C-alpha cells in the first residue's frame, strides 16, 4: 500500500484558506477583508514607483544571478539595521548587531526560532494573546512550547497592560517573549512609549529574551516613530532579536523580503553569533534570493528613491486612516447600536471589530464580505467604492 495511505488532511490555514474561499465566490460585490494586504483605492496591490524605478535600473544593468552570500546582500543588511536603530546608533558603529537577509518576516522568525532552539533549548516562548496566527505554529515547528501572555482587553479595546506586565514579571530568566514592535496584528492595539519603557525594564530585571516582530514599520506614524520599541530595547544594553518584513511597506509580498537582526553585547560576540545563524540558513535554504533585497537596498541607498518610498508609504498610511474614520462615520450614520470610534485609535492595517464569529459568518454568506472569524478586518482593503456596501452589511448583521 502507499506510504501516504494514512495521511490525514491538514486543516486549512485560517487566513490563506479565506482567500481560497474568496476567490471561489462568484458575487461581483464580494470584498476580502481577511488577508493582510494593502490595496489602493482602486482595489489593486500597488507596485510602488520607487520600486519600479529601482527595478528598471536593475533590469538595465542585467546582473548575473550568482549565489548570494549565506547572509544575503551586505548593502541590504546594512540598510535594514539603519531603519531599525537609526544610522548613527552606537550599536551599529560598535558592530554589536548582525543582520541576515531572510525570506520575508516569516523566514526571519523561523531562522531566529531555529537558532534560539540551539542556543536556549529548554526555553519556552511567550506570545501575545491573541497574536499573528502563524506565531504559535512557527515556534512550535522549531520545537518550542508556546504559551500566551495577556495582551488584548476586549472591554477597553486596548491593551491589558497590568496583566501583561504581571505575567512577564513572573517568567523565569531565559524565557523568550515575542513582541509586536508596532501595529499589533490582529488587534491594532499598541503599547504607549511609557509602557514600552516598562516592558524593557521587566525584561532587564527578569533576564528575558525579547524577540521583536517588526512587520509594519512605517504604517503607524512613520519610520522613526514606529521604531520606538526597537530603540528602547537598543538603548537598554539587552541582547535581543528582531524580525523585519518589507512585504507591506514596499508592497513586495511575493518577493519574500525580510531580515533577522540580533543584538549582541560586543562585536566579537556578534561575530560568533553570525557564524551560528549562518549555519541555520545554510542547512535550510543555503542563501536568499537576489531580487527583492537588491531592490530594497537600491531604494534605501538613493536619497531620491528613499524620499519617494517614504512618501508612498505615508500615502498608504494616510489612506488606511481615512478608511478608519470613514467606516466609523458610516456606521454611526447607520445608527448601529455600538460606538465604533475605537477603530480610529487602532494602528496599522487591522482592527479587532468585536464582531462575533456568527456575525462574520453572516457577512460572508449574505454579503460576500470575508473577514477572520475572530472579527479581525483589514482596513487596507476598504476603498471609496466598497465602503458603503461594507458599512451597510456590518450594520445589517449588528441589528
Ligand atoms: N509578523 C506579523 C505580525 C505579520 O503580520 C506578518 C505578515 N502578515 C508577518 C510576520 C510575516 O511577514 P511576511 O509576509 O513578510 O512573511
Cα-to-centroid distance, 137 and ligand 1 (Å) = 13
The pLDDT, as a whole number, for residue 16 is 80
The pLDDT, as a whole number, for residue 15 is 81
Catalytic one among 114, 190, 213, 226?
A: 213
As a whole number of angstroms, the distance between CA 319 and CA 317 comes to 6
The answer to whether the CB of 180 falls within 8 A of the CB of 128 is yes
Catalytic one among 110, 114, 117, 132?
A: 132
Tell me what percent of the residues of the chain surpass a pLDDT of 90: 96
pLDDT digits (tens, 9 = 90+) for 67-104: 999 999 999 999 999 999 999 999 999 999 999 999 99
What is the value of pTM for the model shown? 0.97
User: Where does ligand 1 bind, in terms of residues with CB under 6 Å?
Assistant: 36, 104-106, 132, 180, 185, 213, 215, 245, 247, 258
User: Average of pLDDT values for 281-302?
Assistant: 98
The answer to whether the CB of 164 falls within 8 A of the CB of 113 is no
* pLDDT tier at 11, thresholds 50, 70, 90: confident
* pLDDT tier at 14, thresholds 50, 70, 90: confident
DSSP string spanning 319-359? HHHHHHHHHHHHHHHTT-SS--THHHH--SSEEE----HHH
* pLDDT tier at 17, thresholds 50, 70, 90: confident
The pLDDT, as a whole number, for residue 125 is 98
Check whether the bond before 130 is cis (ω within 30° of 0): yes
User: Residue 161 has which C-alpha cell?
Assistant: 497592560
Catalytic one among 96, 117, 248, 330?
A: 248
Name which residue sits closest to atom 1 of ligand 1, judged by CA: 215
Residue in the structure block whose three cell numbers are 497574536: 131
Name which residue sits closest to atom 6 of ligand 1, judged by CA: 215
The answer to whether the CB of 91 falls within 8 A of the CB of 234 is yes
Phi-psi region of 237 (alpha: psi -120 to 50; beta: other; left: phi over 0): left
Residue in the structure block whose three cell numbers are 548582525: 98
As a whole number of angstroms, the distance between CA 339 and CA 21 comes to 31
Ligand 1 atom with least separation from CA of 247: 15
Phi-psi region of 174 (alpha: psi -120 to 50; beta: other; left: phi over 0): left
Amino acid at each position: 500500500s502507499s506510504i501516504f495511505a494514512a495521511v490525514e488532511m491538514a486543516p486549512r490555514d485560517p487566513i490563506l484558506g479565506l482567500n481560497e474561499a474568496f476567490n471561489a465566490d462568484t458575487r461581483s460585490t464580494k470584498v476580502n477583508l481577511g488577508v493582510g494586504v494593502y490595496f489602493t483605492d482602486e482595489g489593486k496591490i500597488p507596485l510602488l514607483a520607487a520600486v519600479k524605478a529601482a527595478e528598471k535600473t536593475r533590469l538595465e544593468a542585467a546582473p548575473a544571478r550568482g549565489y548570494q552570500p549565506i547572509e544575503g546582500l551586505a548593502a541590504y543588511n546594512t540598510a535594514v539595521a539603519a531603519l531599525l536603530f537609526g544610522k548613527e546608533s552606537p550599536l551599529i558603529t560598535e558592530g554589536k548587531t548582525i543582520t541576515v537577509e531572510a525570506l520575508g518576516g516569516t523566514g526571519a522568525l523561523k531562522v531566529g526560532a531555529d537558532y534560539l532552539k540551539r542556543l536556549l533549548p529548554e526555553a519556552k516562548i511567550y506570545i501575545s494573546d491573541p497574536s499573528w496566527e502563524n506565531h504559535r505554529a512557527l515556534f512550535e515547528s522549531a520545537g518550542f512550547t508556546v504559551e500566551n501572555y495577556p495582551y488584548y482587553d476586549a472591554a477597553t479595546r486596548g491593551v491589558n497592560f497590568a496583566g501583561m506586565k504581571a505575567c512577564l514579571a513572573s517568567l523565569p530568566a531565559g524565557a523568550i517573549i515575542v513582541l509586536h514592535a508596532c501595529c499589533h496584528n490582529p488587534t491594532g492595539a499598541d503599547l504607549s512609549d511609557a509602557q514600552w519603557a516598562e516592558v524593557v525594564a521587566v525584561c532587564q530585571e527578569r533576564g528575558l529574551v525579547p524577540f521583536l516582530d517588526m512587520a509594519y514599520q512605517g504604517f503607524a506614524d512613520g519610520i522613526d516613530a514606529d521604531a520606538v520599541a526597537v530603540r528602547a530595547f537598543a538603548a537598554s544594553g539587552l541582547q535581543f532579536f528582531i524580525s523585519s518584513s518589507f512585504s507591506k511597506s514596499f508592497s513586495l509580498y511575493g518577493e519574500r523580503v525580510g531580515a533577522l537582526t540580533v543584538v549582541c553585547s560586543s562585536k566579537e560576540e556578534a561575530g560568533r553569533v553570525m557564524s551560528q545563524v549562518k549555519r541555520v540558513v545554510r542547512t535550510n535554504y543555503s542563501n536568499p534570493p537576489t531580487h527583492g533585497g537588491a531592490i530594497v537596498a537600491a531604494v534605501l541607498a538613493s536619497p531620491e528613491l528613499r524620499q519617494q518610498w517614504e512618501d508612498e508609504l505615508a500615502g498608504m498610511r494616510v489612506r488606511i486612516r481615512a478608511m478608519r474614520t470613514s467606516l466609523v462615520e458610516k456606521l454611526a450614520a447607520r445608527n448601529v447600536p455600538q460606538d465604533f470610534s475605537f477603530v480610529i485609535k487602532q494602528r496599522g492595517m487591522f482592527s479587532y471589530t468585536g464582531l462575533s464569529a456568527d456575525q462574520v459568518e453572516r457577512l460572508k454568506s449574505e454579503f460576500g464580505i470575508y473577514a477572520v472569524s475572530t472579527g479581525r478586518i483589514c482596513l487596507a482593503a476598504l476603498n471609496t467604492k466598497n465602503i458603503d456596501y461594507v458599512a451597510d452589511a456590518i450594520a445589517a448583521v449588528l441589528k
